[in-house]
Amino acid sequence: MGCIVLGCIILAVSLAGLSPYDPYKSDMSARYQPPSLAHPMGTDALGRDLMTRVLYGGRVSLAVGFSVMVITLLIGVPVGAMAGYFGGRVDNVLMRITDAALALPSLLVLILLGAILREVDAPALKQNPVLTIAFVIGILAWMFTARLVRASYLTIREMDFVVATRALGGSNFRIIALHIFPNAIGPVIVEATLEIAYAILEESGLSYLGFGIQPPTPSWGNLLSNAQEYLVKYPWLAIFPGLMIFLSVISINYIGDGLRDAFDPHKVLTKMGEV
Protein backbone atom coordinates (compact mmCIF):
# COMPACT_ATOMS: atom_id res chain seq x y z
CA MET A 1 0.00 0.00 0.00
CA GLY A 2 2.91 2.26 0.79
CA CYS A 3 4.16 1.62 -2.73
CA ILE A 4 0.84 2.63 -4.27
CA VAL A 5 0.60 5.91 -2.36
CA LEU A 6 4.23 6.78 -3.00
CA GLY A 7 3.81 5.81 -6.65
CA CYS A 8 0.83 8.16 -6.95
CA ILE A 9 2.78 10.98 -5.36
CA ILE A 10 5.79 10.44 -7.61
CA LEU A 11 3.52 10.24 -10.66
CA ALA A 12 1.67 13.41 -9.71
CA VAL A 13 4.88 15.23 -8.99
CA SER A 14 6.50 14.20 -12.23
CA LEU A 15 3.42 15.29 -14.17
CA ALA A 16 3.43 18.72 -12.48
CA GLY A 17 4.27 20.30 -15.85
CA LEU A 18 0.78 19.45 -17.10
CA SER A 19 -0.73 21.97 -14.71
CA PRO A 20 -2.25 24.95 -16.56
CA TYR A 21 -0.68 27.30 -14.00
CA ASP A 22 2.85 28.60 -13.66
CA PRO A 23 4.36 27.86 -10.22
CA TYR A 24 6.29 31.15 -10.15
CA LYS A 25 4.07 33.69 -11.95
CA SER A 26 1.93 35.71 -9.59
CA ASP A 27 -1.64 36.68 -10.38
CA MET A 28 -2.71 39.50 -8.10
CA SER A 29 -6.34 39.23 -9.13
CA ALA A 30 -6.54 35.71 -7.69
CA ARG A 31 -4.95 36.04 -4.25
CA TYR A 32 -6.01 33.85 -1.33
CA GLN A 33 -8.68 31.94 -3.20
CA PRO A 34 -10.11 29.06 -1.18
CA PRO A 35 -9.99 25.59 -2.75
CA SER A 36 -12.30 25.35 -5.76
CA LEU A 37 -12.56 23.35 -8.97
CA ALA A 38 -10.19 25.72 -10.76
CA HIS A 39 -7.73 25.72 -7.86
CA PRO A 40 -8.15 22.39 -5.99
CA MET A 41 -5.87 23.55 -3.16
CA GLY A 42 -6.61 27.26 -3.41
CA THR A 43 -4.13 30.04 -4.18
CA ASP A 44 -1.45 31.73 -2.09
CA ALA A 45 -0.55 35.32 -1.17
CA LEU A 46 0.66 36.06 -4.71
CA GLY A 47 -2.26 34.38 -6.44
CA ARG A 48 -0.23 31.33 -7.47
CA ASP A 49 -2.08 28.01 -7.69
CA LEU A 50 -1.14 26.11 -4.53
CA MET A 51 -1.58 22.67 -6.09
CA THR A 52 0.89 23.49 -8.86
CA ARG A 53 3.35 24.77 -6.28
CA VAL A 54 2.82 21.75 -4.06
CA LEU A 55 3.54 19.44 -7.01
CA TYR A 56 6.66 21.36 -8.01
CA GLY A 57 7.64 21.53 -4.33
CA GLY A 58 7.26 17.77 -4.19
CA ARG A 59 9.91 17.42 -6.87
CA VAL A 60 12.28 19.42 -4.69
CA SER A 61 11.41 17.66 -1.42
CA LEU A 62 11.56 14.15 -2.88
CA ALA A 63 14.78 14.99 -4.71
CA VAL A 64 16.30 16.13 -1.42
CA GLY A 65 15.15 12.89 0.20
CA PHE A 66 16.69 10.67 -2.45
CA SER A 67 19.89 12.72 -2.65
CA VAL A 68 20.37 12.47 1.11
CA MET A 69 19.99 8.72 0.84
CA VAL A 70 22.65 8.57 -1.89
CA ILE A 71 24.99 10.82 0.09
CA THR A 72 24.66 8.83 3.31
CA LEU A 73 25.32 5.63 1.35
CA LEU A 74 28.33 7.13 -0.44
CA ILE A 75 29.93 8.16 2.85
CA GLY A 76 28.54 5.59 5.26
CA VAL A 77 29.09 2.38 3.32
CA PRO A 78 32.83 2.82 2.55
CA VAL A 79 33.55 4.12 6.06
CA GLY A 80 31.65 1.30 7.74
CA ALA A 81 33.03 -1.35 5.38
CA MET A 82 36.65 -0.33 5.88
CA ALA A 83 36.27 0.02 9.65
CA GLY A 84 34.56 -3.34 9.96
CA TYR A 85 36.76 -5.23 7.53
CA PHE A 86 40.22 -3.98 8.45
CA GLY A 87 39.58 -3.46 12.17
CA GLY A 88 42.48 -2.34 14.34
CA ARG A 89 43.85 1.12 13.72
CA VAL A 90 41.70 1.85 10.65
CA ASP A 91 38.62 0.97 12.67
CA ASN A 92 39.81 3.12 15.55
CA VAL A 93 40.41 6.21 13.46
CA LEU A 94 37.21 5.91 11.43
CA MET A 95 35.07 5.22 14.48
CA ARG A 96 36.53 8.18 16.40
CA ILE A 97 35.54 10.39 13.45
CA THR A 98 32.09 8.82 13.50
CA ASP A 99 31.84 9.42 17.26
CA ALA A 100 32.83 13.05 16.82
CA ALA A 101 30.16 13.49 14.17
CA LEU A 102 27.62 11.77 16.42
CA ALA A 103 28.51 14.09 19.29
CA LEU A 104 27.27 17.09 17.32
CA PRO A 105 23.82 18.26 18.33
CA SER A 106 22.52 17.59 14.83
CA LEU A 107 19.43 19.81 14.72
CA LEU A 108 21.38 22.81 16.02
CA VAL A 109 24.24 22.29 13.57
CA LEU A 110 21.72 21.80 10.76
CA ILE A 111 20.16 25.16 11.54
CA LEU A 112 23.59 26.77 11.78
CA LEU A 113 24.68 25.38 8.41
CA GLY A 114 21.35 26.39 6.89
CA ALA A 115 21.72 29.92 8.22
CA ILE A 116 25.26 30.11 6.86
CA LEU A 117 24.39 28.74 3.43
CA ARG A 118 21.57 31.22 3.11
CA GLU A 119 24.18 33.99 3.15
CA VAL A 120 26.80 32.36 0.94
CA ASP A 121 26.88 34.11 -2.39
CA ALA A 122 28.19 31.28 -4.52
CA PRO A 123 26.23 30.84 -7.76
CA ALA A 124 27.05 27.13 -7.79
CA LEU A 125 25.21 26.70 -4.49
CA LYS A 126 22.31 28.93 -5.45
CA GLN A 127 21.72 27.01 -8.65
CA ASN A 128 21.70 23.64 -6.89
CA PRO A 129 19.70 24.25 -3.73
CA VAL A 130 18.57 20.63 -3.66
CA LEU A 131 22.09 19.22 -3.61
CA THR A 132 23.27 21.84 -1.14
CA ILE A 133 20.55 21.07 1.39
CA ALA A 134 20.89 17.34 0.77
CA PHE A 135 24.61 17.58 1.45
CA VAL A 136 24.00 19.46 4.70
CA ILE A 137 21.49 16.87 5.89
CA GLY A 138 23.58 13.95 4.62
CA ILE A 139 26.79 15.09 6.29
CA LEU A 140 24.98 14.87 9.63
CA ALA A 141 23.30 11.53 8.94
CA TRP A 142 25.84 9.11 7.43
CA MET A 143 27.10 7.88 10.81
CA PHE A 144 24.16 5.57 11.37
CA THR A 145 24.70 3.83 8.05
CA ALA A 146 28.43 3.56 8.79
CA ARG A 147 27.83 1.89 12.14
CA LEU A 148 25.32 -0.51 10.65
CA VAL A 149 27.65 -1.49 7.81
CA ARG A 150 30.56 -1.88 10.21
CA ALA A 151 28.56 -4.26 12.40
CA SER A 152 27.65 -6.46 9.41
CA TYR A 153 31.22 -6.51 8.12
CA LEU A 154 32.54 -7.41 11.57
CA THR A 155 30.48 -10.59 11.64
CA ILE A 156 30.77 -11.52 7.98
CA ARG A 157 34.54 -11.12 7.69
CA GLU A 158 35.01 -14.08 10.05
CA MET A 159 32.87 -16.40 7.95
CA ASP A 160 34.38 -19.31 6.10
CA PHE A 161 33.69 -18.06 2.59
CA VAL A 162 35.64 -14.88 3.27
CA VAL A 163 38.55 -16.86 4.66
CA ALA A 164 38.34 -19.09 1.59
CA THR A 165 38.39 -16.12 -0.79
CA ARG A 166 41.40 -14.71 1.00
CA ALA A 167 43.16 -18.05 0.81
CA LEU A 168 42.48 -18.11 -2.92
CA GLY A 169 44.24 -14.75 -3.20
CA GLY A 170 41.26 -12.39 -3.48
CA SER A 171 42.29 -8.77 -2.90
CA ASN A 172 40.88 -6.82 0.02
CA PHE A 173 38.92 -4.57 -2.30
CA ARG A 174 37.44 -7.59 -4.07
CA ILE A 175 36.39 -9.16 -0.81
CA ILE A 176 34.89 -5.93 0.54
CA ALA A 177 33.02 -4.99 -2.62
CA LEU A 178 32.10 -8.29 -4.24
CA HIS A 179 31.95 -10.88 -1.49
CA ILE A 180 30.88 -9.26 1.76
CA PHE A 181 28.79 -6.40 0.39
CA PRO A 182 26.01 -8.52 -1.14
CA ASN A 183 25.65 -10.29 2.20
CA ALA A 184 25.55 -7.10 4.21
CA ILE A 185 23.18 -5.19 1.98
CA GLY A 186 19.82 -6.14 3.55
CA PRO A 187 19.80 -3.92 6.63
CA VAL A 188 21.51 -1.16 4.62
CA ILE A 189 18.64 -1.05 2.14
CA VAL A 190 16.12 -0.81 4.98
CA GLU A 191 18.14 1.96 6.64
CA ALA A 192 18.53 3.81 3.34
CA THR A 193 14.78 3.69 2.71
CA LEU A 194 13.99 5.09 6.13
CA GLU A 195 16.70 7.69 5.53
CA ILE A 196 14.62 9.15 2.68
CA ALA A 197 11.68 9.67 5.01
CA TYR A 198 13.93 11.16 7.67
CA ALA A 199 15.50 13.52 5.12
CA ILE A 200 12.12 14.69 3.84
CA LEU A 201 11.11 15.52 7.40
CA GLU A 202 14.40 17.29 8.11
CA GLU A 203 14.25 19.31 4.91
CA SER A 204 10.67 20.35 5.54
CA GLY A 205 11.51 21.44 9.08
CA LEU A 206 14.58 23.35 7.96
CA SER A 207 12.76 25.04 5.10
CA TYR A 208 9.87 25.81 7.41
CA LEU A 209 12.27 27.71 9.66
CA GLY A 210 13.58 29.56 6.61
CA PHE A 211 17.02 27.89 6.59
CA GLY A 212 16.42 25.33 3.87
CA ILE A 213 15.24 25.69 0.29
CA GLN A 214 14.74 29.39 -0.35
CA PRO A 215 11.64 30.79 -2.06
CA PRO A 216 10.56 31.32 -4.79
CA THR A 217 11.67 27.70 -5.37
CA PRO A 218 8.87 25.80 -3.67
CA SER A 219 9.44 22.89 -1.31
CA TRP A 220 6.91 21.28 1.00
CA GLY A 221 8.63 22.88 3.95
CA ASN A 222 8.92 26.45 2.75
CA LEU A 223 5.35 26.45 1.42
CA LEU A 224 4.44 26.21 5.10
CA SER A 225 6.83 28.84 6.35
CA ASN A 226 4.27 31.65 6.49
CA ALA A 227 1.36 29.37 7.17
CA GLN A 228 1.13 30.27 10.85
CA GLU A 229 0.25 33.89 10.05
CA TYR A 230 -2.41 32.77 7.59
CA LEU A 231 -4.00 30.13 9.82
CA VAL A 232 -6.99 32.21 10.81
CA LYS A 233 -8.02 33.35 7.34
CA TYR A 234 -6.41 31.02 4.84
CA PRO A 235 -6.04 27.61 6.53
CA TRP A 236 -5.72 25.70 3.24
CA LEU A 237 -2.22 27.14 2.86
CA ALA A 238 -1.22 25.24 6.01
CA ILE A 239 -3.07 22.00 5.37
CA PHE A 240 -2.11 20.74 1.91
CA PRO A 241 1.71 20.94 1.85
CA GLY A 242 1.89 19.25 5.26
CA LEU A 243 -0.51 16.56 4.13
CA MET A 244 1.82 15.76 1.23
CA ILE A 245 4.82 15.46 3.56
CA PHE A 246 2.81 13.21 5.82
CA LEU A 247 1.62 10.94 2.99
CA SER A 248 5.09 10.56 1.48
CA VAL A 249 6.78 9.88 4.79
CA ILE A 250 4.20 7.36 5.95
CA SER A 251 4.32 5.46 2.67
CA ILE A 252 8.13 5.38 2.68
CA ASN A 253 8.08 4.14 6.27
CA TYR A 254 5.63 1.38 5.31
CA ILE A 255 7.92 0.37 2.45
CA GLY A 256 10.90 0.34 4.80
CA ASP A 257 8.99 -1.77 7.27
CA GLY A 258 8.00 -4.22 4.55
CA LEU A 259 11.61 -4.45 3.38
CA ARG A 260 12.74 -5.13 6.93
CA ASP A 261 10.34 -8.06 7.18
CA ALA A 262 11.42 -9.29 3.76
CA PHE A 263 15.11 -9.27 4.72
CA ASP A 264 14.49 -10.88 8.09
CA PRO A 265 14.69 -14.65 7.49
CA HIS A 266 13.12 -15.37 10.86
CA LYS A 267 10.06 -13.29 10.02
CA VAL A 268 9.69 -14.90 6.59
CA LEU A 269 9.81 -18.37 8.10
CA THR A 270 7.28 -17.37 10.77
CA LYS A 271 4.90 -16.21 8.08
CA MET A 272 5.34 -19.45 6.19
CA GLY A 273 4.61 -21.31 9.43
CA GLU A 274 7.97 -23.07 9.54
CA VAL A 275 9.11 -21.86 12.93
Partner 1 sequence: MGHYVVRRLLQAIPLMIIVSIVLFALVNLAPGGPLAGRGQSKRMRPEQIAILKRQFGLDQPLYKRYIFWLVGNDWTKIDTDGDGIKESYGQGKGILRGDFGMSYRTRKPVMDSIKNSFKNTAYLMSVTLVVVAIIAIPVGVISAVKQYSIFDIIVTSLSFIGQAIPEFWLGLILILVFYVWLKNPLTGDSLLPPGGMYTQGAAFSIIDWTKHLILPVTMGVVGWVTWYSRFLRSSMLDVIHQDYVRTARAKGLSLNKVYYKHALRNALLPLVTIFALDLPYIFSGSLYVEILFSWPGMGRLYYQAAIDRDYPMLMAILTIGTLAVVFANLLADIAYAKLDPRIHYD
Contact footprint for partner 1 (CB under 8 A):
96, 99-100, 102-109, 111-113, 115-116, 119-121, 197, 201, 204-205, 208-209, 211, 221, 224, 227-228, 231-232, 235, 238-239, 242, 245-246, 249-250, 253-254, 257
Q: Which is nearer to partner 1, 70 or 238 (CB)?
A: 238
Q: Which is nearer to partner 1, 154 or 238 (CB)?
A: 238
Q: Which is nearer to partner 1, 14 or 228 (CB)?
A: 228
User: How far apart are CB 118 and partner 1 at their closest, in Å?
Assistant: 8
Q: Which is nearer to partner 1, 110 or 180 (CB)?
A: 110
Q: Which is nearer to partner 1, 21 or 42 (CB)?
A: 42
User: How far apart are CB 160 and partner 1 at their closest, in Å?
Assistant: 30
Q: Which is nearer to partner 1, 94 or 156 (CB)?
A: 94
User: How far apart are CB 224 and partner 1 at their closest, in Å?
Assistant: 7
User: How far apart are CB 111 and partner 1 at their closest, in Å?
Assistant: 5
User: How far apart are CB 44 and partner 1 at their closest, in Å?
Assistant: 15
Q: Is omega for the bond preceding 129 within 30 degrees of 0, making it cis? A: no
User: How far apart are CB 40 and partner 1 at their closest, in Å?
Assistant: 19
